[in-house]
Structure 1
Amino acid sequence: MTVSMSTLRVMVRVSAARRPKGSIRERGGSLQVRLFSGRDPVTGKDVYLTATIPGMDKAAWDKADDKLAEFRTQVNKQRSAESSVTLGYAIDEWMRLTEIEHSTRKTYDGYIERTIRPVLGSLPARKVDARTLESFYTELRRCRVRCDGTPFIEKHKKKGDHDCVKEQCRPHKCSPLAASTVRQIHSIISGTLAAATRWGWITDNQAHVAKRPKQKPPEPKPPTSAEAARLVEEAFEMDEDWGVLVWLAMTTGMRRGELCALRFSHVDLDAEVIDLRRNWVLGQEKGTKTHQIRRIALDSETVALLRQHRDRIADRTRSLGQKFTDDLFVFTGTLKRNRLHVEPYSPNAVTQRYKDMATRLSIDTHLHALRHYSATELLTAGVDLPTVAGRLGHGGGGATTLRVYAAWVAASDRKAAEILGSRMPKRAPK
């Protein structure tokens, strides 16, 4: 059946009369369906649902009518949903009921108050769709304060009298949030919407289909053997206690919080092992990061250093009239007479002291790189992946270790191949 152009124009007018919202229009031999669905809460721009239907015959018009009806149903469903719970309220309930570590909760609170609530907090949870989230993440990756591109002066104080010269105010320069930070923000929103779905507040969790920033591949940069030797020598020159801490970080791959939380009762010098079960985070002693209790074997040189360290601390505490017990911390940063080794070394203080030491030596490194050094040295020496993963406290049966240290695992595999080849009987060339 053919339809004349005049008939099509009549159909357009009739269709438009029947459609108080939305439109169907001719675009280059196709039909474009368009319906206003609201404003983007992130950018403030109008959002339209659109679709292109190939052809301009009656069948194409019928499909366009069906698509417009589908769009209307979708928009009406959003507007007439039973629950009007805001995302901000849902986040508050999720944070109140979910079980997360204290340090993680503190980090999440910061992201919620600084970034999520000002933009999406008042939006009904049912309207937080994949497009809204992807728009939000894109804005954060462009500029963390989501500026509109217009130049302005950043003020350091928001209330009261303000002196730009005194406060050293400066022109705004866009600074994007790191991809890892945006992924954490996504985790908060996703966890909230998942809970809202379970509680019957919304019908589905759109965060499941929203596209997040890609996770950056790990790029460990351990110090070289020569740099490691210079670092540990400098550490012992500074003081013996600090030297032992740096040495232990190198030889065991312990995390800084694990080093700070280490007590003498966790070190069995006769069995030559460390029973690692505690971590120090934000002024609190807690379980290890992966909630695993692991035992790390010690080499004879490390055992000898720890014996000397233990004797030194015992003499020091007794000389100050303090009783030495195995419950004391192995490392401390305080020199208070009555608190010597009763309080642990602050993880932040350890990081800063190490960074200052490396800077003096003109070595571009950081404390966590000693953990990388321990792992890569073991893998390069041919130690198997599960053993290295166990010493580092990685979960997943070595999957994390393989992901982070893939290049060194490959080098270890090459060494294994050469060893095996050297043991095979030699074949004379033909």
Structure 2
Amino acid sequence: MATSGVIFKRCGCRDDQRRRLEQSCPRLGERGHGTWYFHCSARNLLGRCERVRRGGYPSRTAARHARDEWLTTTEADRTAQGWTVERWLRHWLDNRTKIRPTTRFHYTRDVENVLIPQLGRYRLADLDAPLLRTVFAEIAATRNSKGRPQSASAMNHLRTTLRATLNLAVKEGVLDCNPARHIEIAGYQQPHAKEWTDARVQSWEQTGARPAVAVWTADQLAEFLGAVNDDPLFTLWWLAGLRGLRRGELCGLRWSDIDLDRGTLTIERNRTTAGYHVVEGAPKTPAGRRSVALGKRSVQILRVHRRHEQDRKAEAAENGTPWTDSGSVFTRSDGKPINPNYATTRFRILVRRAGLPPVRLHDCATAPRPSPTKPAPTSKPCRTSSGTPAS
């Protein structure tokens, strides 16, 4: 509840001890001596008491007008009339302090690149279902940053962001209901992984059309692992394809997380990117922190990979080149952990070289496992980056 507060006059005069006289100055009654202030309080949007004291006004009337204007603005801020959509979106982002950096990156991209340009000029009170349906139809007719039509998935993510922002407005009593719940995204369906059967591969080779989410067959996965046997990141591709580890889990993996004697590794961290920035932290969900059984072949491959890393470290010391002992399993030439985006780019290149139908590295983690009758490729020995067979 707002309070009218007080209006008073003060000056900057000091006594013999250099203390400010403030409102006790005997000259305050003189015209032009001192300035006018107001002090009042009101409940803000979050229900907390907000106090303000402002001054420097030439007259009591000016101070009273400034106080009344502040109280009016504060009251408007507690209603949908007092908030533009742009201002509310930024307020919502500022208050999302406990989200992951990658989540904030995607929310910010939606807000800054699309929602504010399209809806920012409206007031929250102006938002209704017909307006939002019209605006979303206009957005759907545009093209994304790559010059392609807006995908149903991107439009759905945009709707999710807007609904989340307006849910806060409902929660804090600024809106009575969320108009974004009436938005429908044409053509959006939860992606369902489709296997690269011979028929789908033939259609892709002829037309270039591919499923939204595609995974390899067991034979295709085995063919890929055989084709990348000499690649320095062969162990990463192996663990992604046969042990279900995701890109962020693999790039964040450290040797301290692996027990080769017991044949297990533990997922303790996730290393991913938010735009051009690498972010490392705990797994996204509690279920992501888990132990993974390796199997004898995986243990053997990891032992070879570890020896190779030790050889690289020794070679750097011998040559006097920089080396950072990061403890990461998959490293750059200087020992620092690899950038997750590099793993994605490298994977695409290797898939293309192998002549296999495209899948995402993320989907490689969900690829079907080779059956017991068709084991993982062993026709080629696992090789180091120098091309020599690893024992």
TM-score by length of 2: 0.62
Checking the alignment, whether the CA contact within 8 Å between 1:256 and 1:368 is kept in structure 2 is yes
Query: Structure 1 residues 244 and 203, CA, compared in 2 at 3 Å: closer, same or farther?
Result: same
Checking the alignment, whether the CA contact within 8 Å between 2:326 and 2:337 is kept in structure 1 is no
Query: Structure 1 residues 289 and 215, CA, compared in 2 at 3 Å: closer, same or farther?
Result: farther
**Cα distance between partner residues in 1 of 2:132 and 2:262:** 54
Query: Structure 1 residues 88 and 205, CA, compared in 2 at 3 Å: closer, same or farther?
Result: same
Cross-structure match for 1:8: none
Q: Which deviations, in whole Å up to 9, do the C-alpha atoms of 1:37-72 show, x marking residues without a partner?
A: xxxxxxxxxxxxxxxxxxxxxxxxxxxxxxxxxxxx
Q: Which deviations, in whole Å up to 9, do the C-alpha atoms of 1:328-348 show, x marking residues without a partner?
A: 11012x21xxx32xx212111
**Cα distance between partner residues in 2 of 1:358 and 1:211:** 36
Quick one: which amino acid aligns to residue 143 of structure 2? R
How far does residue 90 in structure 1 lie from its aligned partner after superposition?
0.8
Asked whether 1:268 is paired with 2:259, we answer yes
Provide the secondary structure at the position in 1 that maps to 2:83.
coil
Quick one: which amino acid aligns to residue 293 of structure 1? R
Asked whether 1:95 is paired with 2:90, we answer no
**Cα distance between partner residues in 1 of 2:243 and 2:87:** 45
**Cα distance between partner residues in 1 of 2:160 and 2:249:** 26
TM-score by length of 1: 0.56
How far does residue 297 in structure 1 lie from its aligned partner after superposition?
0.6
Cross-structure match for 2:110: 111
Query: Out of 164, 189, 193, which is 1:191 matched to?
Result: 164
How far does residue 82 in structure 1 lie from its aligned partner after superposition?
6.2
In the alignment of these two chains, the number of paired residues is 264
Query: Structure 1 residues 127 and 144, CA, compared in 2 at 3 Å: closer, same or farther?
Result: farther
Deviation larger for 178-187 or 88-97: 178-187
Higher helix share: 1
- % identical equivalent positions: 28
Cross-structure match for 2:13: none
Q: How does 1:319-334 map to 2 (within 5 A)?
A: 319-321=315-317, 328-332=327-331, 334=332
How far does residue 208 in structure 1 lie from its aligned partner after superposition?
2.5
Cross-structure match for 1:348: 341
Q: Which runs of 5+ in 2 are unaligned?
A: 1-78, 195-213, 373-391
Query: Out of 150, 166, 169, which is 1:177 matched to?
Result: 150
**Cα distance between partner residues in 1 of 2:80 and 2:280:** 45
Q: Which runs of 5+ in 1 are unaligned?
A: 1-80, 146-155, 157-172, 382-430
Cross-structure match for 2:285: 290
Q: How does 1:295-334 map to 2 (within 5 A)?
A: 295-321=291-317, 328-332=327-331, 334=332
Q: How does 1:150-169 map to 2 (within 5 A)?
A: none
How far does residue 144 in structure 1 lie from its aligned partner after superposition?
3.5
**Cα distance between partner residues in 1 of 2:140 and 2:226:** 42
**Cα distance between partner residues in 2 of 1:294 and 1:325:** 27
**Cα distance between partner residues in 2 of 1:324 and 1:275:** 26
Cross-structure match for 2:193: 219
Query: Structure 1 residues 324 and 297, CA, compared in 2 at 3 Å: closer, same or farther?
Result: farther
Provide the secondary structure at the position in 2 that maps to 1:88.
helix
Quick one: which amino acid aligns to residue 358 of structure 1? V
Provide the secondary structure at the position in 1 that maps to 2:215.
coil
How far does residue 226 in structure 1 lie from its aligned partner after superposition?
2.8
Q: How does 1:213-252 map to 2 (within 5 A)?
A: 213=186, 214-220=188-194, 221-237=214-230, 239=231, 241-252=232-243
Checking the alignment, whether the CA contact within 8 Å between 1:86 and 1:122 is kept in structure 2 is yes
**Cα distance between partner residues in 1 of 2:177 and 2:220:** 53
Asked whether 1:279 is paired with 2:285, we answer no
Q: Which deviations, in whole Å up to 9, do the C-alpha atoms of 1:16-41 show, x marking residues without a partner?
A: xxxxxxxxxxxxxxxxxxxxxxxxxx
Checking the alignment, whether the CA contact within 8 Å between 1:264 and 1:327 is kept in structure 2 is no
**Cα distance between partner residues in 1 of 2:341 and 2:155:** 24
**Cα distance between partner residues in 1 of 2:294 and 2:250:** 14
Query: Structure 1 residues 326 and 307, CA, compared in 2 at 3 Å: closer, same or farther?
Result: farther
Provide the secondary structure at the position in 1 that maps to 2:216.
coil
**Cα distance between partner residues in 2 of 1:196 and 1:316:** 56
**Cα distance between partner residues in 2 of 1:117 and 1:325:** 43
Checking the alignment, whether the CA contact within 8 Å between 1:83 and 1:202 is kept in structure 2 is no
**Cα distance between partner residues in 2 of 1:252 and 1:114:** 38
Checking the alignment, whether the CA contact within 8 Å between 1:318 and 1:324 is kept in structure 2 is no
How far does residue 124 in structure 1 lie from its aligned partner after superposition?
0.6
Cross-structure match for 2:132: 133
Quick one: which amino acid aligns to residue 85 of structure 1? W
How far does residue 324 in structure 1 lie from its aligned partner after superposition?
10
Provide the secondary structure at the position in 2 that maps to 1:372.
coil
How far does residue 255 in structure 1 lie from its aligned partner after superposition?
0.8
Provide the secondary structure at the position in 1 that maps to 2:193.
coil
CA RMSD of aligned residues (A): 2.7
Q: Which deviations, in whole Å up to 9, do the C-alpha atoms of 1:121-165 show, x marking residues without a partner?
A: 0101122112222222222222237xxxxxxxxxx9xxxxxxxxx
Query: Structure 1 residues 265 and 327, CA, compared in 2 at 3 Å: closer, same or farther?
Result: farther
How far does residue 326 in structure 1 lie from its aligned partner after superposition?
8.8
Query: Structure 1 residues 236 and 137, CA, compared in 2 at 3 Å: closer, same or farther?
Result: same
How far does residue 191 in structure 1 lie from its aligned partner after superposition?
1.3
Quick one: which amino acid aligns to residue 369 of structure 1? D
